[in-house]
Amino acid sequence: MAPPTGKRVKGVQIFRPFVYGTTAKPFDEKTNPKPPGVPEDHTHSWTVFVKGIDDVDITYWLRRVQFKLHESIPNHVRMMEGEKGKPFQLSETGWGEFEIAIKLYYVPESSEKPQTLYHHLRLHPFGRTDEEKEAMRLNGSQVISWSYEEQIFNEPYEPFHEILTSGAVPPSAAAGGGGGGGGGGGGPKQKDRDVTRRSEGGVLERSAMIPLANRPGQPFSRETEQLEIKKLKEALVKVEELTRKTRDEMERKEKRLRDLKAGAAKA
Ligand code: SLL
């Protein structure tokens, strides 16, 4: 690896949201016919991927992704090169679930070592409740197992910091000229203006934004986050209520014990 260039930007932590996971679909004559040559015992087609939130480009920080599949699959270690704005992904067919090792290789400017994530390929909806199982379905027959993750870069080297932040400026600020680059690094240079775009969900390129609301196929948003917070708050209220009930019960029993002891002492 090339030696790092420039100084580290002290006290700065940059994070970039991304999504990884699998999407599977059972073979079915009408909607997902088995292609010729696919073995008899294969029941599903599936895809494993790593991509930007709301499909924004992530190749400015992620260079390559290696997917390590189950050894029963021919050529089970596959390296995928980044293509601007496209997900890192591969599709396969099979019959069983297994753990996929996803190794992330960063752009050389980052001087970051590769990191590995693990993901369980799901072919069948899984959950404690029907609601949880249903949440794994997309458009009826697809089984999705997707995770939201944040890649953190601590004190990035100056040139890499510039790469990370050079697009994250609203078009108005870019057109108006001058600073206001938000997380530092100044405004975008002329040549970077073409990356100053928003995704369909309103996410600015090269930013840490996530969409405000969900769209089909884009479940990770502030809306989802608020829903999760609400669920956690409700769970907390339940736990507090249970704690209170248990405490009342304990106090009642302690009083009864005291009364019995007092009664016994008198007798
Ligand atoms: C299981 N532990 O027993 C897992 C292993 C392996 C899945 C699952 C083969 C694909 C191919 C395939 O689907 N392997 O032959 O190309 O459930």
> Is the CB of 70 inside a 6 Å radius of any atom of ligand 1?
yes
- CA 126/CA 135 separation, integer angstroms: 9
Q: What is the pLDDT of residues 214-223, one digit of tens each?
A: 988 899 999 9
Q: Which residue has the tokens 């959950």?
A: 127
pLDDT band at 168 (very low <50, low <70, confident <90, very high): low
> Is the CB of 95 inside a 6 Å radius of any atom of ligand 1?
yes
> Is the CB of 38 inside a 6 Å radius of any atom of ligand 1?
no
154 contacts 8 by C-beta, under 8 angstroms: no
pLDDT band at 135 (very low <50, low <70, confident <90, very high): confident
Lowest mean pLDDT among 83-87, 182-186, 258-262: 182-186
Lowest mean pLDDT among 79-83, 149-153, 171-175: 171-175
For ligand 1, atom 7, the nearest C-alpha belongs to 96
For residue 67, count CB atoms less than 10 angstroms from its CB and return exposed for 0-12, middle for 13-18, buried for 19 or more.
buried
- Calculate how far, in angstroms, residue 217's C-alpha sits from the geometric centre of ligand 1: 27
Give the count of beta carbons closer than 10 Å to the beta carbon of residue 73. 13
Residue 196 has pLDDT above 70, yes or no: no
> Is the CB of 73 inside a 6 Å radius of any atom of ligand 1?
yes
> Is the CB of 98 inside a 6 Å radius of any atom of ligand 1?
yes
For ligand 1, atom 2, the nearest C-alpha belongs to 98
Q: What is the pLDDT of residues 17-75, one digit of tens each?
A: 999 999 999 999 999 999 999 999 999 999 999 999 999 999 999 999 999 999 999 99
For ligand 1, atom 3, the nearest C-alpha belongs to 96
Structure tokens at 73: 């699959």
Q: What is the pLDDT of residues 105-116, one digit of tens each?
A: 999 999 999 999
Helix/strand/coil percent split, the chain, to 5: 30, 30, 40
Q: Which domains are seen in the chain, by residue range?
A: 13-154 (2.60.40.1970)
Element (H, E) at 227: helix 222-266
pLDDT band at 173 (very low <50, low <70, confident <90, very high): low
Residue 205 has pLDDT above 50, yes or no: yes
For ligand 1, atom 9, the nearest C-alpha belongs to 94
84 contacts 103 by C-beta, under 8 angstroms: no
Residue 179 has pLDDT above 50, yes or no: no
Probe residue for ligand 1, chosen from 44, 47, 73, 99 as the CB with the greatest number of ligand atoms within 8 Å: 73
- Calculate how far, in angstroms, residue 253's C-alpha sits from the geometric centre of ligand 1: 56
Structure tokens at 13: 């932590």
Residue 183 has pLDDT above 60, yes or no: no
Across the chain, the runs of DSSP E, i.e. the strands, are 13-26, 44-52, 62-68, 77-81, 88-94, 99-106, 115-120, 137-138, 142-154
The chain-wide mean pLDDT, for the chain, equals 89
Residue type (1 letter), 92: E
33 contacts 44 by C-beta, under 8 angstroms: no
Q: Which residue has the tokens 């999504």?
A: 19
Residues of the chain with pLDDT > 70, as a percent, come to: 87
Give the count of beta carbons closer than 10 Å to the beta carbon of residue 154. 12
Name the pairing type of β-strands 142-154 and 99-106.
unpaired
> Is the CB of 72 inside a 6 Å radius of any atom of ligand 1?
yes
Q: How far, in Å, are 70, 84, 111, 122 from residue 81 at the CA level?
A: 20, 10, 18, 24
Tell me what pLDDT residue 198 has: 87
> Is the CB of 96 inside a 6 Å radius of any atom of ligand 1?
yes
> Is the CB of 97 inside a 6 Å radius of any atom of ligand 1?
yes
Tell me what pLDDT residue 2 has: 56
Tell me what pLDDT residue 166 has: 86
Tell me what pLDDT residue 49 has: 98
Residue 170 has pLDDT above 70, yes or no: no
The closest-lying atom of ligand 1 relative to the alpha carbon of residue 74 is: 16
